[in-house]
A and B are shown apart, each in its own frame.
Chain A
Amino acid sequence: MCVWCEQYAGGYERWYLNPANYARRLYKVRREETEASGAEANPQAAGGMSAVGREFLEAKERGDHEAVARMKKEAEQRLWQIHFGQVVTREELDQILDIIYPIALMTCACRRSMRGLPDDENFTCIGMGPGMYKWERWPDTYRGGVHFLTPDEAREVVDVLNRRGLAHTVYTFGTPYLGGICNCDYPDCGGLRTAIDLDVRVVWKGHYVAQVDPDLCNGCGLCARRCQFQALTFSPSTLQAYIDPLKCYGCGLCRNPCKPDAITMVERESMPALADVW
């Protein structure tokens, strides 16, 4: 079971379909330390994009599993209180776009950090909720400012990002409040880098897992380039798509170029051995 749904779904099918989780107050008394720094969500200070430091990499390299496990746990506990994400499908994103307000197109902090991408080339993130009025009011503080979108405009934007091959992720800003829809790719998303490179779960896998129907797959291989999670490869043995269900994040992007509709999304929790793989 997804622990976030367990705690925060409030009777809705998923925690990110519960409108209460988008209703963070515009102004709040900050808690001390870590919570405050995450809630601040400063896209520039976040520039290091690293949930763990060099000491984690060094411990990994010298094979100190105990230290790695301890630092991983500390980082995850901190991140899960403040700022973490979960992958959602395009269909779920449609449902989300119907319950959030306002919807604001904004710049991606990760690509700024990774590539130094100029603001005008970097509008790939969607902020949501009353916090976005601060971005509108003080565009200098919040680099790049925002463009407010209607739900239909947001759908168009999301479709373009989806065609580009970016995976949709919802992010908390002070859990359980969801404040952003990120559109992510490897290697330029800081969250995916941390999750995939270091196995520190700043991004949770989604509620679905992609499966290939070998009777339908025609071996065109177009899906292979869509996977941002190193889960889908083209198998030279079978000449068909191969999906590692343990690595699949369930974004659903691989389905889109598939002419014979050979890829379906299966509920993660319908498979007992995957039910706790997030």
Chain B
Amino acid sequence: MLPTISVDDSKCENPLDCRMCLLACPTRVLGLGTNVGPQKYRETDPSHFVVRGVRHQFCTMCMKCVDICPHDAIRISLDQGVMA
């Protein structure tokens, strides 16, 4: 079964600078992207960067990302309803 990975964007304020979860994940399950399209003539505001589970099939639920997140923003569960 594929783990469900959820990130609370309101707690995860600046993943581009923090990136601790990205570096902690042994298998690059997580991806950093933006929740807006291209911003003409200006840099994308850091608040628009988001972390998402992408390559779920490689998640072993080792919880390294959950543990290292300084804002407690990541949840991983096997059952969609019950958060580990």
Contacts and interface: CB of A to CB of B under 8 A. Distances in A.
A47 B49 CA distance: 9
B41 A141 contact: yes
Contacts of A112: 32
Contacts of B57: 57, 60-61, 197
A190 B32 CA distance: 12
A154 B2 CA distance: 43
A116 B33 contact: no
Contacts of B52: 48
Given A61-B2, A114-B22, A116-B22, A50 B31 contact: yes
A193 interface: yes
A121 to B, nearest CB: 12
A262 interface: no
B42 A141 contact: yes
A143 B37 CA distance: 13
A contact patch SS: helix
Nearest to A48: B33
A48 B31 contact: yes
B75 interface: no
B2 to A, nearest CB: 6
Q: What interface size band does chain B fall in?
A: 20 to 34
B28 A187 contact: yes
A113 B23 CA distance: 11
B68 interface: no
Contact of B32 (A58, A60, A116): A116
Nearest to B34: A44
A40 B2 contact: no
Nearest to B36: A45
A50 B54 CA distance: 7
Interface string B1-42: 110000000000001101100110001100111101111111
A32 interface: no
A57 B33 CA distance: 19
A44 B1 CA distance: 30
A141 B43 contact: yes
B32 A45 contact: no
B28 A193 contact: yes
A42 B37 contact: yes
Nearest to B53: A54
Given A115-B23, A116-B16, A141-B41, A57 B31 contact: no
B22 A138 contact: no
A220 B49 CA distance: 45
A161 interface: no
Contacts of B27: 187
A113 B2 contact: no
Interface in A71-130: 112-116
